[in-house]
Structure 1
Amino acid sequence: MTTTMHRRLDEALAAGTDLLLTDLRCPEALLTEGAPAGAPVDADGTASVDLLLRAGRIAAVAAPGGAAAGAPRLSLGGRHVWPMLVDAHTHLDKGHVIGRAPSSGGTHPGAREATTRDRIAHWRHDDLIHRMDFGLSCAEAHGIAAIRTHLDSHEGQGETVWGAFAEIREAWKGRVALQASALVPFDAWGTDYAERLANIVADHGGLLGGVTRPSGGTHGGLADIDALLDRVFTLAKERDLDLDLHVDEAAEADALPHVARATIRHGYEGRVTCGHCCSLSRLPEPEMDATIALAKEAGLSLITLPTVNMYLQDRLPGRTPRWRGVMPIHELRAAGVPVAVAGDNCRDPFYAYGDHDMLDTWREAVRICHLDHPFAGSAGLAGTAPAEICGFEAGSLGAGRRADFMVLEAWSLDQLIARPQSDRVLVRQGRVLDLRAPSYEELRLTRTEAQVEPA
């Protein structure tokens, strides 16, 4: 954003009075009530609106000229204004260990092995707090209002990681809203540890979860998946906990129909989220359609992780990947299945890159998944959709909501996607935030800590 506009916005908000922001644009999918009556909506689904701000909240969203007269005004010159966004699937406990963990080779098995070794060697309370805090500082600086993280909860470490999460959730209260789901290989739910883990999660107000593969194995290798699903659903029902599962993160796997049928069997419709579901897009069309219909019947919500799954899936040395690793978003949305886009891993063995920036994740998702021509409400996949799946009050602009939003140096969605929007201006509760992403200097480790030598 130009220095002049940034300064004018800062000064106008700092006055502390009602303020009418005029001549701004927001995708209709990111407005809580959709476009207000009389507001022009362009071919990309972007509405021209005014925002009336009062005491740190949005008092009204109106068509141009339709809000209360008399309040001081500031024109944003037609710029895009978006709510702060929601990351419904990430891994704060794994993040920012690149350079410390062993190399993964960019493969899923390599990432599991490297993460296991890093976890055993380093995941103590202070290490978890330090890296989670760094990740949240990145997210906050990029305009993320809420995050659901998955937490590796292996026996012997569940208490440690959930204790660290509880501390960091309290420290970040009011800045980034946090939820957590337990992550273990699915056969862990058939062990004596299962009930203790369920109690740990319940004590911290989390979700039960897991990855639909056995310990040390691959997706598609669970012969007793139905019995394990019955066990985890029973534990969840006894504690009134929702579920968030890693499902079918492979080219060929078949857990999703089992999850859907278990959801129906246990009366848990609307309370189960499934991430990844990569193999769904590789099924023959009739089988894919039947599975999508079953997911709809079960009330499942699905979350796709496009950047990470493109990084991991179909990777073989010296061979160009043949497929993208993402779930069939268009078909799922057409069938009425709730779908969201999320960031997943960040600078760890499962994904060596990223910065907890959901605007960037959404921009990549548009290109990877062909969510344009037309955009058809795709902006909601990073805002309203994940907020509804997780139950966060974030991800949209509406009357009565906190005045939390970002002003972008873009006048159209193609401009917004073309540039990284690194000059976005963040506003929280009606005040401009002076934030920058934390320096990597904060992650510097001693030479001994920074290396895990191969065994």
Structure 2
Amino acid sequence: MDLIFRNVRIADGKPLTDVAVHNGKVAIISPGITVRARQEVQGNGNVLMPAFVEGHLHLEKANVMHRKVNRTGTLKEAIAVTAELKPMLTREDILERSTQVLRSLVQAGTTHVRAHAEFDPSQGFTGFDVVLELRKKFRDMIDIQVVAFPQEGIFKLPGMKHMMVAAMEKGADVVGGIPYNDRSPFEHIDYVFSLAKQFGKDIDFHQDFADTAENMTIEYLARKTIKEGYEGRVCVGHLTSLGAVAAEQRVDIISLIRDAGISVMCLPATDLHLGARGDSHNVRRSLTPVRALRDGGVNVCLATNNIRNAFTPYGTGDLLNIAQLAMPACHLGGADDQATVLGMLTTNPAKALGLNNYGLETGKNADLVLVDTQSVAGVILDLPARLMVLKRGKIVATSNYNRSIAF
């Protein structure tokens, strides 16, 4: 074996076990493995688990909060501020800031990220090309799925349809969309599906990001998904409007989302910050209804979205911080609810991103993290140190260094 973890906990209420890794895969899971390895790690009862999966993040816009501030804290100003700033961002600047974020993700135990990379006529492909470059440069440390994301819309800007095609030809992994920020959300959705089918790619929408249920298109999107045979291949982020829908109607919409196999990314750090800015009292949470979606059979995930910019003026890239924020905000603090939160950072986003070789099972990729707590249930609550992070069996970060050792 290449590496063996001795006496680690992989499930509460069960004996400690050993986990052996060989050729980048989980090879053996068994107490008292008798074979030896080139490297052996004493787990001392600490939790070994699948590494975290970041399902929705904007790399190239991270850590620019100080350059052009959002004084009102509104979505409208965040979009305007960022649109002004983007043309001034250079390749070198984006490369440096994005690398910092990726380092933080790996240190925090994340080995997969879906990055929504923007382009438009005013900035060209500068940021998008950098994210493609980073995907290749750091593929041995973190897998990056690149989304071709038209933040400023498609049909309302000249040349964007051609840029969307060019982005796919450049090598984007996923077709992105933002129906609520275009001249017609239905036209927008239809075009994204046509492009995805042309290139054989999955789809990820910024969807229904508003405080009210007016102008929602999630039902149209779900029916379109089923019509096109794209069940299980579509994700949506935000979906905050669904939280404003009356309970009886919401049940029907959630059933439709479930039948379409659409995964939902709750983005609490951004949505709590930007949402309900017009409320003077009894201020709404303006979050997608995580518990209702989960109980309705929808694959629900927690993700970061933005880090220290006009959309989200805080954040570290640590998904455990996002989980701790979501627990009170989404009413996930009950004992039964708490047990479902860790999956929203691991197995659920892995499913959303189509990661077939993910998980702490024999034969799966050894993308693992050893954390400094002896209870799986305590991973969210304790915010434990990430003692060791593996990417396909290779150690890419340890707590012995205040950095990722592979960067």
Which residue matches 1:19? 4
- The one-letter code of the counterpart of 1:183 is F
Which residue matches 2:288? 327
SS of the residue aligned with 1:119?
helix
Identity of aligned residues (%): 25
1:313 aligns with 2:275: yes
What are the within-5 Å matches in structure 2 for residues 162-177 of structure 1?
162-177=128-143
1:300 aligns with 2:258: no
Matches of 1:272 and 1:423, distance apart in 2: 31
Structure 1 residue 395, shift from structure 2 partner:
5.5
- The one-letter code of the counterpart of 2:174 is L
Which residue matches 1:338? 299
SS of the residue aligned with 1:245?
strand
Which residue matches 1:51? 19
- The one-letter code of the counterpart of 1:85 is F
1:182 aligns with 2:142: no
Matches of 1:115 and 1:392, distance apart in 2: 32
SS of the residue aligned with 2:212?
coil
Structure 1 residue 70, shift from structure 2 partner:
5.0
Sort the Cα spacing of 1:408 and 1:116 in 2 relative to 1 into closer, same or farther, 3 A.
same
SS of the residue aligned with 2:339?
coil
Matches of 1:332 and 1:259, distance apart in 2: 16
TM-align CA RMSD = 2.7
Which residue matches 1:81? 48
1:403 aligns with 2:403: no
Question: What CA deviation, in whole Å up to 9, does each residue of 1:369-424 have, x standing for no partner?
Answer: 23341233431111111112112367521212343322222223564334432464
Check whether the contact 2:388–2:395 (CA below 8 A) recurs between aligned residues.
no
Structure 1 residue 143, shift from structure 2 partner:
1.4
Sort the Cα spacing of 1:300 and 1:133 in 2 relative to 1 into closer, same or farther, 3 A.
same
Which residue matches 2:211? 251
Question: 5+ residue gaps in structure 1?
Answer: 1-15, 28-40, 216-221, 439-455
Check whether the contact 1:383–1:394 (CA below 8 A) recurs between aligned residues.
no
1:236 aligns with 2:188: no
Structure 1 residue 362, shift from structure 2 partner:
2.5
Matches of 1:115 and 1:189, distance apart in 2: 20
Matches of 2:69 and 2:41, distance apart in 1: 52
Which residue matches 2:323? 362
Which residue matches 1:442? none
Check whether the contact 2:303–2:322 (CA below 8 A) recurs between aligned residues.
yes
Structure 1 residue 88, shift from structure 2 partner:
0.7
Question: What CA deviation, in whole Å up to 9, does each residue of 1:86-110 have, x standing for no partner?
Answer: 1010100110102112334322112
- The one-letter code of the counterpart of 1:397 is L
SS of the residue aligned with 1:145?
strand
Sort the Cα spacing of 1:49 and 1:306 in 2 relative to 1 into closer, same or farther, 3 A.
farther
What are the within-5 Å matches in structure 2 for residues 34-433 of structure 1?
41-42=12-13, 48-54=16-22, 56-62=24-30, 65=31, 68-71=33-36, 75-120=42-87, 122-185=88-151, 187-189=153-155, 193-203=159-169, 204-214=171-181, 224-253=184-213, 254-316=216-278, 319=280, 322-371=283-332, 372-374=334-336, 375-392=338-355, 396-413=359-376, 415-422=378-385, 424-428=387-391, 429=393, 431=395, 433=397
Structure 1 residue 297, shift from structure 2 partner:
2.1
Matches of 1:79 and 1:353, distance apart in 2: 30
Structure 1 residue 310, shift from structure 2 partner:
1.2
Normalised to the residue count of structure 2, the TM-score between the two structures is: 0.87
Which residue matches 1:450? none
Question: What CA deviation, in whole Å up to 9, does each residue of 1:216-239 have, x standing for no partner?
Answer: xxxxxx6x3323322222222222
- The one-letter code of the counterpart of 2:307 is C
- Higher relative contact order (Cα pairs below 8 Å, separated by 6+ residues): 1
- The one-letter code of the counterpart of 1:324 is R
Matches of 1:335 and 1:286, distance apart in 2: 13
Check whether the contact 2:106–2:396 (CA below 8 A) recurs between aligned residues.
no
Structure 1 residue 47, shift from structure 2 partner:
7.7
Sort the Cα spacing of 1:212 and 1:60 in 2 relative to 1 into closer, same or farther, 3 A.
same
Check whether the contact 2:10–2:376 (CA below 8 A) recurs between aligned residues.
no
Matches of 1:332 and 1:207, distance apart in 2: 24
Q: Which has the larger radius of gyration?
A: 1
Number of residue pairs the alignment of both structures matches: 394
Question: 5+ residue gaps in structure 2?
Answer: none
Matches of 2:330 and 2:70, distance apart in 1: 29
Larger deviation, residues 335-344 vs 70-79: 70-79
Structure 1 residue 303, shift from structure 2 partner:
1.0
Matches of 1:258 and 1:303, distance apart in 2: 18
Check whether the contact 1:52–1:60 (CA below 8 A) recurs between aligned residues.
yes
Normalised to the residue count of structure 1, the TM-score between the two structures is: 0.78
Sort the Cα spacing of 1:70 and 1:130 in 2 relative to 1 into closer, same or farther, 3 A.
closer
- The one-letter code of the counterpart of 2:313 is A
Check whether the contact 1:315–1:321 (CA below 8 A) recurs between aligned residues.
no
Sort the Cα spacing of 1:285 and 1:419 in 2 relative to 1 into closer, same or farther, 3 A.
same
Matches of 2:286 and 2:403, distance apart in 1: 29
Sort the Cα spacing of 1:195 and 1:367 in 2 relative to 1 into closer, same or farther, 3 A.
same
Matches of 2:190 and 2:227, distance apart in 1: 9
- The one-letter code of the counterpart of 1:389 is A
